[in-house]
Amino acid sequence: MTATPAARPRPPAVGYWIGFAVVVALLIVAPLVLPPFWQRFATEILIWGLLAMSSDILIGYTGMVSFGHSAFFGLGMYGAAAALLTVKPPSLWLGLLYGLVTAGGAAVFVAYFATRLRDIYFAISTLVFSQIFYVIIFTWTEVTGGENGLTFSQPRLTIPGLWSDRFTPVTFHWFVLAVVLLSYLLVRRITQSPFGMVLQSIRENEPRTRAIGYHVERYKIVAVMLSGLFAGLSGVLYALQNKFAAPDFVFFVVSGEVVIFNVMGGMGTLVGPFAGAAFFLLLREGLSRFLTEYYLIPLGVIFIIMIIFLPQGLLGFLRRRLNA
């Protein structure tokens, strides 16, 4: 009697894509079963997760901490608002294009100067640039609306020759989910390409990467540009959902929250920033309902505990448990 051969374990990639498909299926079904408030909340988590993932290109893969992502996020909002207020009838695709061009242009400007610096000096320079953009937007009242910001109507979802209809909370959630999925797959492909390998080499040992012949500054500039583009895209989606653009979203506090999302979820993973954004936003929502203005105290304590005991974030902890 022959022994039955042991079943071979599935390759990690198969398990990853199965889990990925399950999460996507749950996100597709979510707006159909959740109450209106939680429908909107789930959509916001996707948008903030996209912003955090854009920051992870720099923090997790290139080793560059940026406090300027609020500028790209806010400028994406204002770019979309400019298109929707000046073009009649309002065009969704022009709003996306204007937002990406505005955020991308700002990213090129910031990258050209900030990437000449390293470590903490790079982080401080991005913070300074974000505050410069904030002051311009806050004081240029005739164009940006100043403190009150800009409000506009939500454009229709139009596919020329095929579809044209107004967004509902459900269809907008699906639209955001589709954009986030495409962005995630694109960024994943970039980070796994030779270009992404060079970024990780810069993170691990920049002098050696430079010594073997790579033009480190060029790679850093492209990394900041890519990161700024996806941050601007998240700003466009947020503006479309809330139908306004305000200077508060250009303030550096937003950049600080994005860094927290990455630390909580797990840097250098792309998925971790989404987990960190979901965890942080759900925790803040729950604590603020019970502790009102004092909710930041337990939130800060939880963050400190996670830094000490879960230095690799939620995703790193989950991986260790699964391996165990």
CA distance 239 to 90: 14
Q: State the chain's mean pLDDT as an integer.
A: 87
| Share above pLDDT 90 across residues of the chain, in percent, rounded to a whole number | 52
What is the model's pLDDT at position 53? 94
What radius of gyration, in Å, describes the C-alpha atoms of the chain?
A: 21
What are the tens digits of pLDDT across the range 142-166? 888 888 888 888 888 877 766 667 8
Residue type, 4: T
Mean pLDDT across the stretch 100-122?
Answer: 91
DSSP class of 134:
H
What are the tens digits of pLDDT across the range 47-85? 999 999 999 999 989 989 989 899 999 999 999 999 988
Mean pLDDT across the stretch 176-187?
Answer: 95
- The domain spans of the chain are 36-254
What is the model's pLDDT at position 6? 43
What is the model's pLDDT at position 18? 84
Beta bridge partners, 151, equal: 244
What are the tens digits of pLDDT across the range 243-288? 989 998 998 889 999 999 999 988 888 898 999 999 999 999 888 8
Q: With cut-offs at 50, 70 and 90, classify the pLDDT of residue 213.
A: confident
Long-range (24+ apart) CB contacts under 8 A made by 21-29 are: 24/177, 24/181, 27/177, 28/174, 28/177
- Within 8 A by CB and 6+ apart from 33, the residues are none
CA distance 213 to 252: 36
What's the predicted TM-score (pTM) here?
0.91
Taken as a whole, the chain contains a residue count of: 324
CA distance 253 to 262: 15
Please identify which residue in the block is written with the tokens 């700002």.
106
